[in-house]
């Protein structure tokens, strides 16, 4: 499986992964190495180690200390500055205004 694109029906696209427990390690790794810390001022920071795991846990850097657990069918993506984005599988499947490849 390879990464796909994701975006709202009216915007540009993002690199994304449809999460499930059988997601390829390389795809999970590609998402993980592109999630970066966002400083209050200045340029974006390096990769945030452990921000996305093979078990479907996602951490939003510098926004508290909690992980969220992705459900099968949820989409995880990152923007051009390395910020993680999650769209529920329900929203994707039920006309939530999202387009994917």
Residue with tokens 């499930």: 20
The pLDDT assigned to 69 comes to: 93
Q: Give the global pTM.
A: 0.76
Range of the domain at 56: 4-100
Q: How many domains does the chain have?
A: 1
3-class secondary-structure state, position 77: strand
The pLDDT assigned to 53 comes to: 86
**Cβ atoms within 10 Å of 47's Cβ, excluding its own:** 14
| pLDDT (tens place) for every residue of the chain, 101 residues total | 688 877 766 666 788 899 998 999 999 999 888 888 776 666 656 667 778 888 899 988 777 777 899 999 999 988 878 888 898 999 888 877 777 77
CA gap 41, 76 in Å, rounded: 25
The pLDDT assigned to 73 comes to: 92
The pLDDT assigned to 46 comes to: 63
For the chain, the C-alpha Rg in angstroms (whole number) is 13
3-class secondary-structure state, position 59: strand
Query: Parallel, antiparallel, or unpaired for β 75-78 and 14-18?
Result: antiparallel
The pLDDT assigned to 45 comes to: 65
């Amino acid at each position: 499986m390879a990464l796909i694109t994701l975006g709202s029906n009216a915007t540009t696209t993002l690199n994304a992964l449809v999460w499930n427990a059988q997601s390829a390690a390389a795809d999970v790794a590609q998402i993980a190495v592109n999630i970066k810390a966002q400083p209050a001022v200045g340029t974006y920071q390096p990769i945030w180690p452990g921000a996305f795991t093979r078990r479907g846990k996602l951490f939003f850097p510098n926004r508290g200390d909690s992980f969220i657990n992705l459900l099968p069918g949820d989409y995880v993506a990152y923007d051009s500055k390395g910020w993680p984005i999650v769209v529920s599988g329900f929203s994707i499947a039920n006309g939530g205004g999202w387009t994917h490849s």
